[in-house]
Amino acid sequence: MSEALLKQAPQTSSNTTPSAIWYTRCPVPTTSGIAQHKQWLQNEFARHGITLDSIRASQDRAVRESHFRHSLAGSFREGGNVPPIWAKAQGQDTVVVGITWVDEEQLVFVRGDSDIHTVADLRGRKLGVVRKAASDLVDVGRAEGQRGLLTALHLGGVPRETVEFVDIAAPEWDLKEVSRTREDHHAIPTLALLNGTVDAIFIKGAGSARALAQGLRPIININDQEDPLLRLSAGSPRPITVDRKTLLDSPEIVVRYLAVLLKTFEWAKAHPEEVLSIIAAETATDEDSVLLAFGNKLHLSFEPKLSDIYVEGLRRQKNFLLAEGFIDIDFDVDTWIDPSPLQKAWLLKDQIVLG
């Protein structure tokens, strides 16, 4: 662990209960995002003498990189599956204690004046995927684009060897707390498409609204597939992970964190309009774009589960990242998961008071 991370390790009291813990979530719809936006997570832990700090809000880039590395002790993460799978394969001793799944628009875009109208028309064409500046962090944007494009080719019956994948140079991600001026990481591939460098790109989620506004035209929406395992992406399933030491030393903290998420899920079901507003803030976009990207049932999508389909989705994403070279070391997904904290959280949930 770097010196910066050692300095930022959670403080503990004499009875080994931490006085400070960390959380992070991706700038996408997450249960943790709603709970922190409403200050429910912060307030619940404050009642027990524990400070909850945001990894992405740190002024120290080494700390912010724990969003990808999961290197901070006493830290929770909910969001896209590429970083936690990569971190686990890198040797980080983390545990999956829940999974959420938010379906979203998953679109392959071409230019508005393109003669490409179906996936079959992609044969012989250039498909753009970003490749970030060299570093030891996993290339999340590339994994996202490659997954989407390969799924589209599979659905359209187009062999991957009949298309040309073209690298689009992109900077390293530095994921800070979201703001209305947050840089759109789809901007660079969009420019490559508009200037003719490539013929098609993949965009998912809130970025789809911006792409449509720029005159791009979708030729397939993977989200239309009925089988959820065909809708897998870098975004869903979204594992909720915690470092194993925290689970072993302070299991009550993990259970309480999950209990707040369960209570948040129940609240979200009854407050669709407020959920829309919160997710617009979390994704640095507007409510119309959120509705377009995630649909009118978004508020029903925030239950942490460890269902068979969620676990199988996580397993298939791990297998995809291994097959495509994003991770080098295989591991067993089933032993990565511990269902007991979520089971106990259901028993604690009704004792949680939001506010």
For the chain, what is the domain count? 2
- In terms of domains, do 92 and 125 share one? no
- The amino acid at residue 144 is E
- In terms of domains, do 226 and 122 share one? yes
- In terms of domains, do 270 and 343 share one? yes
Output the CA–CA distances (angstroms, integers) from residue 276 to 203, 238, 270, 280, in the order listed. Answer: 20, 19, 12, 6
Following DSSP, what letter does each residue of 119-160 receive, concatenated? GGGGTT-EEEEEEEPS-SS--HHHHHHHHHHHHHHHHHT--G
Judge whether 246 and 73 are in contact, CB under 8 Å.
yes
- Single out the residue in 230, 263, 292 at which a domain terminates: 230
- In terms of domains, do 239 and 91 share one? yes
CATH of the domain at 180: 3.40.190.270
Judge whether 256 and 348 are in contact, CB under 8 Å.
yes
- In terms of domains, do 143 and 66 share one? no
- Single out the residue in 188, 204, 230 at which a domain terminates: 230
Query: What secondary structure, in 3-state letters, does 162-214 show?
Result: HCEEEEEEECCCCCCCCCCCCCCCCHHHHHHHHCCCCCEEEEECCHHHHHHHC
Comparing C-alpha atoms, which of 170, 163, 164 is closest to residue 130?
170
Judge whether 341 and 258 are in contact, CB under 8 Å.
yes
Segments forming the whole domain that contains residue 167: 106-230
- In terms of domains, do 89 and 163 share one? no
- In terms of domains, do 226 and 112 share one? yes
CA distance 199 to 195: 9
- In terms of domains, do 118 and 84 share one? no
- The amino acid at residue 347 is L
CATH of the domain at 307: 3.40.190.10
pLDDT tens, residue order, the chain (355 aa): 333 443 344 554 435 678 999 999 989 999 999 999 999 999 999 999 999 999 999 889 889 999 999 999 999 999 999 999 999 999 999 999 999 999 999 999 999 999 999 999 999 999 999 999 878 899 999 999 999 999 999 999 999 999 999 999 998 776 677 554 455 778 999 999 999 999 999 999 999 999 999 999 999 999 999 999 999 999 999 999 999 999 999 999 999 999 999 999 999 999 999 999 999 999 999 999 999 999 999 999 999 999 999 999 999 999 999 999 999 999 999 999 999 999 999 999 999 999 8
- The amino acid at residue 51 is T
**How many other CB atoms sit within 10 Å of the CB of residue 197?**
13
- In terms of domains, do 212 and 266 share one? no
- In terms of domains, do 91 and 239 share one? yes
- In terms of domains, do 343 and 239 share one? yes
Going by DSSP bridges, is the β-strand pair 75-78/20-25 parallel, antiparallel, or unpaired?
parallel
- Single out the residue in 197, 230, 263 at which a domain terminates: 230
Judge whether 71 and 77 are in contact, CB under 8 Å.
no
- In terms of domains, do 264 and 167 share one? no
Q: What is the helix (H) or strand (E) element at residue 28, kind and residue range?
A: none
